[in-house]
Amino acid sequence: MVTASRPVLVTDSTRPGVLAALRELWGYRELVVELSKRSLQLRYKNSVLGIAWSLSTPLMLIFIITLVTKRLMNQNIPNYSAYLFPVMFAWSFFSMAIPESCGVLIDNAALVRKVYFPRELLPITVVVANLVHLLIAMTVALAYLALLRILPRQVNWQVLLLFLIIPAQCAATLGIGFIVSSLNVLFEAVRYVVIVAMQIMLYAVPILYPIERVVAATQHPWSHPWLDAWLRPHFVQLYLLNPFASILVLYQKALLPPIQNAGIPALPWSWGLLGQTWLISVVILVAGAMVFGRFKWTAVERL
């Protein structure tokens, strides 16, 4: 019964080439879809609202932040909540997918230890399942903008820019997911580091303040002479090197009319920023895949 098309599995201590690894992953694409479907199905099995629950946390935060900004801080920006919708939903993608990636190998230990399949599928599945949330959330955000009559006037073809932002966001998230999922098997503390890092990150992205505030903060001299001389001139660029921050800025600039804040003219949509974000995201993805490839075998033995 020898057939020519029979698969040959060779395992040795070397690493397969990138192309061979990608080809193998492509062969499992249906499984990724199925695993993602399963994870969504199981998460919302017992609720009538189902997947809509995923919107509840960001919606609540949008409400609270709008309230605090308008009533307590007296920042009267028209349609402030509209500016929060896309960024909060985009943030929600990061803040759900990354901690979830941490545990994905451990949660599937029973399977990983007994059946061979490319381990990369598990972190990929986390991103795909959360991408479904993100797409639903962005549809809701666009509907809200339409409701406020922002969408038909100011935004038209720019909605298509979302399709250039979302893949970069997925790439960056997957890269980080690769790193945290493999390292978390080896070091339990990784999970806690990630949780704390995500809490801190919330303040390093333009959600609680518009990006124009960051620009404004660099317009006046800082009290510390050394920081003033070295950090202040580059602060905005450094801030935007963080892909979490730049992706959120891109969402806002693609969907919403310029916002006047703190006397700083609104930053326009920037193709340069998009390119830079893509570059950084791809670097993170490649680095993450390398870390995962390096540690996945050890991780499976330790599960």
Partner 1 sequence: MTKRFRVVHQASTLKRAALEMLFNPRSRVDHITALQDIDFTVAEGETVGIVGRNGSGKSTILTLLAGIYRPSFGCITVRGRIGSLLDLGAGFHHELTAEDNAIMAGMIHGLTRAQSLDRVPRVIDYAGLEGFADTKIKHFSSGMILRLGFSVVIHTEPDVLLVDEVLAVGDETFQRKCRETIGQFQRQGKSIVFVSHDLDTVAEVTRRVIWLDAGRLRMDGPSGEVLAAYRAEAAR
Per CB under 8 A, the list member of 31, 77, 236, 282 interacting with partner 1 is 31
Cα distance between residue 260 and residue 214, in whole Å: 13
Per CB under 8 A, the list member of 4, 19, 26, 30 interacting with partner 1 is 30
Cα distance between residue 66 and residue 58, in whole Å: 12
**Residue 17 touches partner 1, criterion: CB under 8 A:** no
- Do 88 and 207 contact (CB within 8 A), yes or no? yes
Per CB under 8 A, the list member of 53, 63, 187, 230 interacting with partner 1 is 187
Smallest separation (angstroms) from partner 1 to the CB of 246:
28
Burial of 300 (0-12, 13-18, 19+ CB in 10 A): middle
- For residue 220, give the DSSP letter: S
- The smaller minimum CB distance to partner 1, of residues 5 and 223, is found at 5
Per CB under 8 A, the list member of 111, 195, 231, 241 interacting with partner 1 is 111
Structure tokens at 206: 């333009």
Segment contacting partner 1 by CB under 8 A, of 8-16, 61-69, 247-255, 256-264: 8-16
Cα distance between residue 234 and residue 240, in whole Å: 10
Per CB under 8 A, the list member of 23, 38, 149, 234 interacting with partner 1 is 38
Segment contacting partner 1 by CB under 8 A, of 104-112, 168-176, 227-235, 286-294: 104-112
Smallest separation (angstroms) from partner 1 to the CB of 45:
6
> Looking only at residues 208 through 267 of this chain, which bind partner 1 when binding is defined by CB under 8 A?
none
**Residue 42 touches partner 1, criterion: CB under 8 A:** yes
- The smaller minimum CB distance to partner 1, of residues 7 and 225, is found at 7
**Residue 4 touches partner 1, criterion: CB under 8 A:** no
- Do 84 and 63 contact (CB within 8 A), yes or no? no
Amino acid identity at 26? W
Three-state SS across 161-198? HHHHHHHHHHHHHHHHHHHHHHHHHHCCHHHHHHHHHH
The CA–CA distances, whole Å, from 110 to 39, 164, 219, 245 equal 16, 37, 56, 37
Cα distance between residue 37 and residue 125, in whole Å: 9
Phi, psi of 256 (to 5 degrees): -120, 150
Span between the terminal Cα atoms of the chain, in Å = 37
Smallest separation (angstroms) from partner 1 to the CB of 191:
11
Cα distance between residue 82 and residue 27, in whole Å: 41
Collapsed DSSP state (helix, strand, coil) of residue 205: coil
- The smaller minimum CB distance to partner 1, of residues 42 and 73, is found at 42
**Residue 13 touches partner 1, criterion: CB under 8 A:** yes
Mark 113-152 with x for binding to partner 1 (rule: CB under 8 A) and - for no binding. xxxxx-----------------------------------
**Contact positions toward partner 1, by CB under 8 A?**
1-2, 6-13, 30-31, 34-35, 38, 42, 45, 108, 110-117, 186-190, 193, 297-298, 300-302
